[in-house]
Amino acid sequence: MIMPMHALAEANTNIALVKYWGKNDPTLNLPAVPSLSLTLDGLTTRTEVEFAPSLAADVLLLNSAETGGEPLAKVSRHLDRVALALVGTTERPRARVRTVNNFPTAAGLASSASAFAALTVAAAAALTGGAAAAAGEFEFDRGQLAILARQGSGSAARSLFGGLVVLGVGTPGQVHSAQASQLLASSDWPELRLVIGVVSERAKDTSSTLGMNHTAATSPYFAPFVAAAPLDLLTATQAIKARDLTRLGEVAERSALRMHASAMAADPGVIYLRGSTLEGLHAVRALRQRGVAAFFTCDAGPHPKALTTAADADAVAAALAAVPGVQRTLIARPGEGARVLPLSPEPA
Ligand code: DP6
Protein backbone atom coordinates (compact mmCIF):
# COMPACT_ATOMS: atom_id res chain seq x y z
CA MET A 1 0.00 0.00 0.00
CA ILE A 2 1.24 3.49 -0.79
CA MET A 3 1.25 5.59 2.37
CA PRO A 4 -0.78 8.76 2.02
CA MET A 5 1.33 11.91 2.30
CA HIS A 6 -1.60 14.14 2.89
CA ALA A 7 -2.76 15.99 6.01
CA LEU A 8 -4.89 18.88 7.22
CA ALA A 9 -4.06 21.13 10.17
CA GLU A 10 -5.38 24.29 11.73
CA ALA A 11 -3.84 26.94 13.94
CA ASN A 12 -5.15 30.02 15.68
CA THR A 13 -3.35 33.30 15.46
CA ASN A 14 -1.90 34.91 18.59
CA ILE A 15 -1.39 38.41 19.92
CA ALA A 16 1.78 39.33 21.76
CA LEU A 17 1.44 40.93 25.19
CA VAL A 18 5.22 41.20 25.46
CA LYS A 19 6.31 42.03 21.92
CA TYR A 20 8.83 40.29 19.69
CA TRP A 21 10.54 42.96 17.60
CA GLY A 22 14.01 42.43 16.14
CA LYS A 23 16.22 39.42 15.48
CA ASN A 24 19.66 38.56 16.75
CA ASP A 25 20.22 36.02 13.97
CA PRO A 26 18.25 36.80 10.80
CA THR A 27 19.36 33.60 9.03
CA LEU A 28 17.94 31.32 11.73
CA ASN A 29 15.19 33.85 12.50
CA LEU A 30 16.10 34.02 16.17
CA PRO A 31 14.36 36.78 18.15
CA ALA A 32 16.42 39.41 19.95
CA VAL A 33 13.89 39.55 22.79
CA PRO A 34 11.68 37.06 24.61
CA SER A 35 7.96 37.45 23.93
CA LEU A 36 4.69 36.33 25.43
CA SER A 37 1.34 35.91 23.70
CA LEU A 38 -2.27 34.91 23.97
CA THR A 39 -3.52 32.42 21.39
CA LEU A 40 -6.86 33.64 20.02
CA ASP A 41 -9.82 31.38 19.52
CA GLY A 42 -11.64 31.76 16.22
CA LEU A 43 -8.99 33.55 14.17
CA THR A 44 -7.84 30.46 12.37
CA THR A 45 -5.82 29.29 9.39
CA ARG A 46 -6.61 25.84 7.98
CA THR A 47 -3.97 24.32 5.74
CA GLU A 48 -3.93 21.09 3.74
CA VAL A 49 -0.64 19.71 2.44
CA GLU A 50 -0.57 16.91 -0.11
CA PHE A 51 2.78 15.64 -1.36
CA ALA A 52 2.25 14.14 -4.81
CA PRO A 53 5.02 12.54 -6.89
CA SER A 54 3.06 13.48 -10.04
CA LEU A 55 3.47 17.23 -9.43
CA ALA A 56 6.28 19.06 -11.23
CA ALA A 57 6.31 22.01 -8.83
CA ASP A 58 4.77 23.12 -5.54
CA VAL A 59 1.32 24.68 -5.90
CA LEU A 60 -0.20 27.16 -3.43
CA LEU A 61 -3.91 27.91 -3.21
CA LEU A 62 -4.38 30.86 -0.85
CA ASN A 63 -8.06 31.41 0.01
CA SER A 64 -8.87 29.44 -3.20
CA ALA A 65 -6.69 31.61 -5.48
CA GLU A 66 -3.60 30.05 -7.06
CA THR A 67 -0.70 32.16 -5.80
CA GLY A 68 2.91 32.32 -7.01
CA GLY A 69 5.80 34.71 -6.36
CA GLU A 70 7.19 35.27 -2.89
CA PRO A 71 4.33 33.62 -0.94
CA LEU A 72 4.84 30.38 -2.91
CA ALA A 73 8.63 30.62 -2.58
CA LYS A 74 8.28 31.02 1.20
CA VAL A 75 5.99 27.99 1.41
CA SER A 76 8.43 25.90 -0.69
CA ARG A 77 11.37 26.91 1.49
CA HIS A 78 9.39 26.03 4.58
CA LEU A 79 8.41 22.61 3.21
CA ASP A 80 12.11 21.98 2.47
CA ARG A 81 12.98 23.00 6.03
CA VAL A 82 10.38 20.68 7.56
CA ALA A 83 11.41 17.81 5.28
CA LEU A 84 15.11 18.26 6.10
CA ALA A 85 14.41 18.29 9.85
CA LEU A 86 11.95 15.40 9.92
CA VAL A 87 12.99 13.06 7.11
CA GLY A 88 16.57 14.20 6.56
CA THR A 89 16.33 15.46 2.99
CA THR A 90 14.95 18.27 0.87
CA GLU A 91 14.49 15.73 -1.97
CA ARG A 92 10.78 15.58 -1.32
CA PRO A 93 7.82 15.17 -3.66
CA ARG A 94 6.28 18.47 -4.70
CA ALA A 95 3.23 19.52 -2.75
CA ARG A 96 -0.21 20.98 -3.26
CA VAL A 97 -0.89 23.40 -0.38
CA ARG A 98 -4.38 24.75 0.19
CA THR A 99 -4.71 27.34 2.89
CA VAL A 100 -7.76 29.27 4.07
CA ASN A 101 -8.08 31.98 6.71
CA ASN A 102 -11.46 32.14 8.41
CA PHE A 103 -10.88 35.83 9.09
CA PRO A 104 -10.90 38.42 6.32
CA THR A 105 -7.42 38.82 4.83
CA ALA A 106 -8.56 42.11 3.26
CA ALA A 107 -9.06 43.54 6.76
CA GLY A 108 -5.33 43.22 7.30
CA LEU A 109 -5.64 40.66 10.06
CA ALA A 110 -3.96 37.95 8.02
CA SER A 111 -1.32 36.55 10.21
CA SER A 112 1.91 34.80 9.43
CA ALA A 113 1.60 33.30 12.93
CA SER A 114 -1.38 31.06 12.21
CA ALA A 115 -0.20 30.50 8.62
CA PHE A 116 3.24 29.10 9.43
CA ALA A 117 1.98 27.17 12.46
CA ALA A 118 -0.69 25.41 10.38
CA LEU A 119 1.72 24.82 7.48
CA THR A 120 4.34 23.32 9.78
CA VAL A 121 1.92 20.93 11.46
CA ALA A 122 0.23 19.90 8.20
CA ALA A 123 3.59 19.31 6.48
CA ALA A 124 4.99 17.34 9.42
CA ALA A 125 1.85 15.20 9.58
CA ALA A 126 1.84 14.60 5.82
CA LEU A 127 5.55 13.66 5.76
CA THR A 128 5.67 11.44 8.81
CA GLY A 129 2.14 10.60 9.93
CA GLY A 130 0.88 8.24 7.20
CA ALA A 131 -2.69 7.01 7.63
CA ALA A 132 -2.91 8.30 11.20
CA ALA A 133 -2.30 11.84 9.95
CA ALA A 134 -4.98 11.50 7.29
CA ALA A 135 -7.36 10.33 10.04
CA GLY A 136 -6.48 13.36 12.17
CA GLU A 137 -4.77 11.23 14.79
CA PHE A 138 -1.18 12.39 14.37
CA GLU A 139 0.62 13.06 17.66
CA PHE A 140 3.39 15.61 17.53
CA ASP A 141 6.00 17.30 19.67
CA ARG A 142 4.82 20.93 19.90
CA GLY A 143 8.19 22.24 21.03
CA GLN A 144 9.98 20.60 18.10
CA LEU A 145 7.49 21.90 15.54
CA ALA A 146 7.56 25.35 17.16
CA ILE A 147 11.30 25.55 16.34
CA LEU A 148 10.49 24.83 12.70
CA ALA A 149 7.53 27.22 12.63
CA ARG A 150 9.69 29.97 14.13
CA GLN A 151 12.05 29.76 11.18
CA GLY A 152 9.10 30.55 8.91
CA SER A 153 7.89 33.41 11.12
CA GLY A 154 8.88 34.13 14.71
CA SER A 155 5.37 34.64 16.05
CA ALA A 156 4.25 31.31 14.48
CA ALA A 157 6.20 29.37 17.12
CA ARG A 158 3.75 30.63 19.74
CA SER A 159 0.67 29.44 17.80
CA LEU A 160 1.75 25.82 18.28
CA PHE A 161 0.47 26.20 21.83
CA GLY A 162 -2.84 27.34 23.24
CA GLY A 163 -3.46 29.87 26.00
CA LEU A 164 -0.57 32.01 27.22
CA VAL A 165 2.73 31.18 25.56
CA VAL A 166 6.34 32.29 25.94
CA LEU A 167 8.90 32.37 23.14
CA GLY A 168 12.43 32.63 24.47
CA VAL A 169 15.18 34.91 23.21
CA GLY A 170 17.52 33.41 20.61
CA THR A 171 21.19 32.56 20.97
CA PRO A 172 22.84 33.48 17.66
CA GLY A 173 23.89 30.42 15.67
CA GLN A 174 21.79 28.00 17.70
CA VAL A 175 18.70 26.96 15.82
CA HIS A 176 17.23 25.16 18.82
CA SER A 177 17.39 28.20 21.07
CA ALA A 178 14.30 30.45 21.32
CA GLN A 179 12.01 27.66 22.42
CA ALA A 180 8.30 28.16 22.80
CA SER A 181 6.41 26.84 25.81
CA GLN A 182 2.98 27.11 27.35
CA LEU A 183 2.55 29.13 30.52
CA LEU A 184 -1.19 28.59 31.00
CA ALA A 185 -3.69 26.56 29.00
CA SER A 186 -6.66 28.42 27.51
CA SER A 187 -8.92 26.87 30.15
CA ASP A 188 -6.71 28.15 33.00
CA TRP A 189 -7.79 31.78 32.52
CA PRO A 190 -10.96 31.50 30.45
CA GLU A 191 -12.24 35.02 31.29
CA LEU A 192 -9.50 36.76 29.29
CA ARG A 193 -10.64 38.53 26.12
CA LEU A 194 -8.86 40.34 23.33
CA VAL A 195 -10.94 42.94 21.50
CA ILE A 196 -9.83 44.05 18.03
CA GLY A 197 -10.97 47.25 16.35
CA VAL A 198 -10.77 46.56 12.63
CA VAL A 199 -9.71 49.80 10.93
CA SER A 200 -11.23 50.29 7.53
CA GLU A 201 -8.60 52.46 5.90
CA ARG A 202 -5.76 50.24 4.88
CA ALA A 203 -2.58 51.73 3.48
CA LYS A 204 0.02 49.09 2.65
CA ASP A 205 2.08 48.53 5.77
CA THR A 206 5.75 47.70 6.01
CA SER A 207 5.91 43.97 6.81
CA SER A 208 6.92 43.01 10.36
CA THR A 209 10.12 41.45 9.04
CA LEU A 210 11.22 44.58 7.18
CA GLY A 211 10.04 46.90 9.94
CA MET A 212 11.88 45.09 12.71
CA ASN A 213 15.08 44.61 10.71
CA HIS A 214 15.12 48.30 9.80
CA THR A 215 14.44 49.24 13.44
CA ALA A 216 17.28 47.02 14.68
CA ALA A 217 19.65 48.47 12.08
CA THR A 218 18.87 52.19 12.47
CA SER A 219 16.93 53.02 15.65
CA PRO A 220 18.81 54.43 18.66
CA TYR A 221 15.83 53.25 20.72
CA PHE A 222 16.18 49.61 19.69
CA ALA A 223 18.85 48.74 22.29
CA PRO A 224 16.78 50.18 25.17
CA PHE A 225 13.73 48.27 23.89
CA VAL A 226 15.76 45.03 23.97
CA ALA A 227 17.19 45.85 27.40
CA ALA A 228 13.71 46.35 28.89
CA ALA A 229 12.24 43.10 27.56
CA PRO A 230 13.48 40.55 30.16
CA LEU A 231 11.87 42.49 33.04
CA ASP A 232 8.64 42.84 31.05
CA LEU A 233 8.62 39.08 30.52
CA LEU A 234 9.24 38.39 34.20
CA THR A 235 6.55 40.82 35.36
CA ALA A 236 4.04 39.48 32.82
CA THR A 237 4.80 35.90 33.83
CA GLN A 238 4.24 36.68 37.51
CA ALA A 239 1.03 38.56 36.69
CA ILE A 240 -0.26 35.60 34.69
CA LYS A 241 0.50 33.13 37.47
CA ALA A 242 -1.42 35.42 39.88
CA ARG A 243 -4.22 35.99 37.29
CA ASP A 244 -3.55 39.70 37.81
CA LEU A 245 -5.05 41.38 34.74
CA THR A 246 -4.07 44.91 35.75
CA ARG A 247 -0.42 44.05 36.11
CA LEU A 248 -0.41 42.02 32.90
CA GLY A 249 -2.25 44.76 31.03
CA GLU A 250 0.15 47.46 32.19
CA VAL A 251 3.09 45.42 30.90
CA ALA A 252 1.29 44.72 27.61
CA GLU A 253 0.55 48.40 27.06
CA ARG A 254 4.09 49.56 27.72
CA SER A 255 5.65 46.74 25.69
CA ALA A 256 3.54 47.72 22.67
CA LEU A 257 4.28 51.42 23.06
CA ARG A 258 8.01 50.76 23.45
CA MET A 259 8.01 48.57 20.36
CA HIS A 260 6.34 51.35 18.38
CA ALA A 261 8.62 54.00 19.89
CA SER A 262 11.67 52.05 18.76
CA ALA A 263 10.18 51.62 15.26
CA MET A 264 9.24 55.31 14.98
CA ALA A 265 12.78 56.31 15.97
CA ALA A 266 14.27 54.28 13.09
CA ASP A 267 15.74 56.21 10.16
CA PRO A 268 13.47 56.77 8.32
CA GLY A 269 10.82 56.09 10.96
CA VAL A 270 8.53 53.07 10.65
CA ILE A 271 5.06 54.25 11.64
CA TYR A 272 2.24 51.72 11.93
CA LEU A 273 0.07 53.87 14.21
CA ARG A 274 -2.75 55.77 12.50
CA GLY A 275 -5.24 58.27 13.86
CA SER A 276 -7.70 55.48 14.63
CA THR A 277 -5.02 53.49 16.44
CA LEU A 278 -4.22 56.38 18.76
CA GLU A 279 -7.88 57.26 19.28
CA GLY A 280 -8.35 53.60 20.20
CA LEU A 281 -5.57 53.89 22.77
CA HIS A 282 -7.24 56.96 24.29
CA ALA A 283 -10.65 55.26 24.30
CA VAL A 284 -9.19 52.29 26.18
CA ARG A 285 -7.49 54.56 28.71
CA ALA A 286 -10.71 56.55 29.18
CA LEU A 287 -12.53 53.31 29.98
CA ARG A 288 -9.85 52.51 32.51
CA GLN A 289 -10.41 55.88 34.21
CA ARG A 290 -14.00 54.73 34.67
CA GLY A 291 -12.89 51.52 36.34
CA VAL A 292 -12.98 49.14 33.35
CA ALA A 293 -9.96 46.83 33.23
CA ALA A 294 -8.87 47.30 29.61
CA PHE A 295 -5.36 47.67 28.23
CA PHE A 296 -4.25 48.77 24.78
CA THR A 297 -1.97 46.93 22.39
CA CYS A 298 -1.30 46.98 18.64
CA ASP A 299 1.00 45.33 16.14
CA ALA A 300 2.57 46.06 12.76
CA GLY A 301 -0.69 47.49 11.47
CA PRO A 302 -3.29 50.11 12.37
CA HIS A 303 -5.85 48.07 14.33
CA PRO A 304 -6.27 49.10 17.98
CA LYS A 305 -6.60 46.07 20.27
CA ALA A 306 -7.43 45.75 23.93
CA LEU A 307 -6.88 43.10 26.57
CA THR A 308 -9.82 42.79 28.95
CA THR A 309 -12.17 40.28 30.58
CA ALA A 310 -15.39 38.61 29.48
CA ALA A 311 -17.37 40.87 31.82
CA ASP A 312 -16.08 44.07 30.16
CA ALA A 313 -15.53 42.87 26.58
CA ASP A 314 -18.80 44.29 25.20
CA ALA A 315 -18.13 47.72 26.73
CA VAL A 316 -14.60 47.71 25.32
CA ALA A 317 -15.87 46.65 21.89
CA ALA A 318 -18.47 49.44 21.97
CA ALA A 319 -15.79 52.00 22.86
CA LEU A 320 -13.52 50.84 20.02
CA ALA A 321 -16.47 50.70 17.60
CA ALA A 322 -17.11 54.39 18.33
CA VAL A 323 -13.58 55.37 17.24
CA PRO A 324 -13.64 57.08 13.83
CA GLY A 325 -12.21 54.71 11.22
CA VAL A 326 -12.98 51.54 13.14
CA GLN A 327 -15.23 49.53 10.87
CA ARG A 328 -16.15 46.71 13.19
CA THR A 329 -14.88 44.85 16.24
CA LEU A 330 -14.00 41.26 17.06
CA ILE A 331 -13.92 39.71 20.52
CA ALA A 332 -11.63 36.69 20.91
CA ARG A 333 -11.31 34.23 23.79
CA PRO A 334 -8.18 32.25 24.65
CA GLY A 335 -7.72 29.58 21.99
CA GLU A 336 -6.14 26.16 21.58
CA GLY A 337 -2.81 25.26 20.02
CA ALA A 338 -2.37 23.97 16.47
CA ARG A 339 -3.94 20.60 15.68
CA VAL A 340 -4.30 18.00 12.98
CA LEU A 341 -7.79 17.40 11.60
CA PRO A 342 -9.16 14.40 9.73
CA LEU A 343 -9.01 14.87 5.96
CA SER A 344 -12.69 14.15 5.43
CA PRO A 345 -14.43 15.44 8.49
CA GLU A 346 -17.90 14.08 9.09
CA PRO A 347 -20.46 16.62 7.93
CA ALA A 348 -21.69 18.60 10.93
C1 DP6 B 1 4.49 43.09 15.99
O2 DP6 B 1 6.53 37.00 13.56
O3 DP6 B 1 5.61 38.49 11.74
O4 DP6 B 1 3.39 41.01 15.71
O5 DP6 B 1 9.69 36.49 12.32
O6 DP6 B 1 9.98 38.30 10.63
O7 DP6 B 1 8.07 36.68 10.40
P8 DP6 B 1 9.00 37.42 11.35
O9 DP6 B 1 8.09 38.43 12.18
P10 DP6 B 1 6.64 38.25 12.79
O11 DP6 B 1 6.64 39.51 13.80
C12 DP6 B 1 5.64 39.72 14.74
C13 DP6 B 1 5.75 41.12 15.25
C14 DP6 B 1 4.61 41.57 16.12
C15 DP6 B 1 4.88 41.28 17.61
C16 DP6 B 1 4.72 39.85 18.04
O17 DP6 B 1 3.89 39.11 17.48
O18 DP6 B 1 5.42 39.48 19.00
pLDDT, tens digit, 9 for 90 and up, residues 107-117: 556 679 999 99
Report how far ligand 1's centroid is from the alpha carbon of 297 (Å).
14
Q: Hey, how many other C-beta atoms are within 10 angstroms of the C-beta on 200?
A: 13
Kindly report the CA angle at 47 between 18 and 109, in degrees rounded to 5?
Answer: 40
Instruction: Give the three-state DSSP class for 159.
Output: helix
Question: Residue 111 CA: which ligand 1 atom is closest?
Answer: 3
Q: Is the pLDDT of residue 1 over 60?
A: no
Report how far ligand 1's centroid is from the alpha carbon of 201 (Å).
22
Greater confidence (347 vs 187) lies with: 187
What pLDDT shows up at residue 205? 79
User: Which residue minimizes the CA distance to atom 14 of ligand 1?
Assistant: 299
CA-derived radius of gyration, the chain:
20
Report how far ligand 1's centroid is from the alpha carbon of 212 (Å).
8
- Phi and psi at 313, nearest 5°, equal -60, -40
Q: Is the pLDDT of residue 70 over 60?
A: yes
Over residues 294-317, the mean pLDDT reads 97
3-state secondary structure 10-29: EEEEEEEEECCCCEEECCCC
70 — alpha (psi -120 to 50), left (phi > 0) or beta?
alpha
Choose which residue among 208, 255, 257, 299 to substitute to test ligand 1 binding: the one with the highest number of ligand atoms within 8 A of its C-beta. 208
Distance CA 303, CA 198 (A): 5
What pLDDT shows up at residue 2? 64
Q: Is the pLDDT of residue 345 over 70?
A: no
- pLDDT band of residue 247 (cuts 50, 70, 90) is very high
> Rounded to an integer, what is the distance from CA 127 to the centroid of its chain?
24
Report how far ligand 1's centroid is from the alpha carbon of 312 (Å).
28
Over residues 142-147, the mean pLDDT reads 98
Question: Residue 15 CA: which ligand 1 atom is closest?
Answer: 17
Protein residues with CB under 6 Å of any ligand 1 atom: 16, 19-21, 29, 35, 112, 153-155, 208-209, 299-300
Instruction: Give the three-state DSSP class for 316.
Output: helix
Buried b (16+ CB within 10 A) or exposed e, 165-179: bbbbbbeeeebebbe
Over residues 46-65, the mean pLDDT reads 96
Query: For the chain, what percent of residues have pLDDT higher than 70?
Result: 95
Choose which residue among 12, 14, 20, 196 to substitute to test ligand 1 binding: the one with the highest number of ligand atoms within 8 A of its C-beta. 20
Instruction: Give the three-state DSSP class for 328.
Output: strand
- Phi and psi at 118, nearest 5°, equal -65, -40
DSSP label at 173? T
- pLDDT band of residue 6 (cuts 50, 70, 90) is very high
Q: Is the pLDDT of residue 201 over 80?
A: no
What pLDDT shows up at residue 348? 41
Report how far ligand 1's centroid is from the alpha carbon of 21 (Å).
6
Q: Tell me the pairing of strands 59-62 and 95-101.
A: parallel
User: Which residue minimizes the CA distance to atom 11 of ligand 1?
Assistant: 208
Report how far ligand 1's centroid is from the alpha carbon of 4 (Å).
34
Q: Is the pLDDT of residue 338 over 60?
A: yes
Over residues 119-131, the mean pLDDT reads 96
User: Which residue minimizes the CA distance to atom 7 of ligand 1?
Assistant: 153
Question: Residue 156 CA: which ligand 1 atom is closest?
Answer: 2
